Amino acid sequence: MLDFAARQKAGGTHLNFFIVKQLLVLPPETYTPALLDLIVPRVLELVYTAWDLEPFARDLGYEGDPFPWDEERRALLRAELDGLYAHLYGLNRDDFAYILEQFPIVKRKDVAAYREYRTARLCLEAYDYFSKSAREKLRSAVEEIEIRLTQLVVRRLHDDLSVVPPHVQEGQEPERVKQGKPPRAASLADFLGAGYLPLLGKVIKANREQFEDMFASNGQVDAHLQPLVALRNELAHPKELLISSKVRSSGEPEVRWFAEKLGLEIDLVLPPAI
């Protein structure tokens, strides 16, 4: 976006100081902690490819070795940053697509190498992935999984509250009171209604023989549910409508896994792919 705007202002091959003053540089207050969590790891991986940049990496709190130079990986990282910045600059998708078409040399090289304008495709896929509508689709998918998984647990356990260990029931009483419910649940469905995903794992592990077709061990219950719970919490309380890359990348595969197990059709916006 900055490159495109600079081309409209520069009349030659030099950027005079008065032109630099006009460039579309986002102010420092734009970079909230949540936004930096998305940007910094990608910038770090793109920049820190040699030991002479070690001080830069250490300033960012990274103690590892330089990242290998992988052209395919770098293309994805650049596209993700471009897609994210398109949102920061307030562009709609058509605006962003138009700007991408104004780089004919990039397009020509892409078409020669990949038989498509790959840079534009990756950037637009990243734009879609970071969009509000993509987050809404993800949130709806997690909510549907919560409902369907709860229904499955209640059905297989015959809505019998006695299958829940007493200490688990007692531990949930403060939350029930906080929600304006009686301290003691009247049924399994009532009990799970006070917490959903955080409680489902405990109930399933206490009765795992009823769910062996989904989970081969208690460890698998945690492995599949914990990333989903973390994703649910991020979606319920987003930071400036952003989702942590780590939480999203670990949670989305579990959304697809549960959707397959529960026979759900979900419509998720996928991250860019080579």
Q: Is 92 found in the same domain as 145?
A: no
Q: Is 109 found in the same domain as 16?
A: yes
In a domain, 160, yes or no: yes
Q: Is 253 found in the same domain as 215?
A: yes
For position 82, what pLDDT does the model report? 97
In a domain, 270, yes or no: no
Residues 17, 225 contacting (CB under 8 angstroms): no
Query: In the predicted model, is pLDDT for residue 195 greater than 70?
Result: no
Among 108, 129, 150, give the residue marking a domain's end.
129
Among 82, 102, 129, give the residue marking a domain's end.
129
Q: How confident is the model at residue 143 (pLDDT cuts 50, 70, 90)?
A: very high
Q: How confident is the model at residue 104 (pLDDT cuts 50, 70, 90)?
A: very high
- The whole-number average pLDDT for the span 218-230 is 96
Q: Is 257 found in the same domain as 179?
A: yes
Residues 117, 77 contacting (CB under 8 angstroms): no
Q: Is 138 found in the same domain as 80?
A: no
Distance (Å, whole) CA 148 – CA 241: 26
Residues 241, 84 contacting (CB under 8 angstroms): no
Domain count, the chain: 2
Q: Is 169 found in the same domain as 52?
A: no
Q: Is 136 found in the same domain as 110?
A: no
Query: In the predicted model, is pLDDT for residue 239 greater than 80?
Result: no
Range of the domain at 197: 132-262
| pTM of the predicted structure, to 2 decimals | 0.88
What digits encode the pLDDT tens for the residues 34-79? Answer: 899 999 999 999 999 999 999 999 999 999 999 999 999 999 999 9
Residues 258, 235 contacting (CB under 8 angstroms): no
Q: How confident is the model at residue 17 (pLDDT cuts 50, 70, 90)?
A: confident
Among 129, 160, 192, give the residue marking a domain's end.
129
Query: In the predicted model, is pLDDT for residue 19 greater than 90?
Result: no
Q: Is 151 found in the same domain as 186?
A: yes
The helix/strand/coil state of 26 is: coil
DSSP state of 130: T
Q: Is 176 found in the same domain as 221?
A: yes
Within 13 Å, how many C-alpha atoms sit on residue 30's CB side? 13
What digits encode the pLDDT tens for the residues 159-183? Answer: 999 999 999 999 988 888 888 889 8
For helices 93-100 and 71-88, angle between their N-to-C axes, nearest 10 degrees: 130
Q: Is 136 found in the same domain as 257?
A: yes
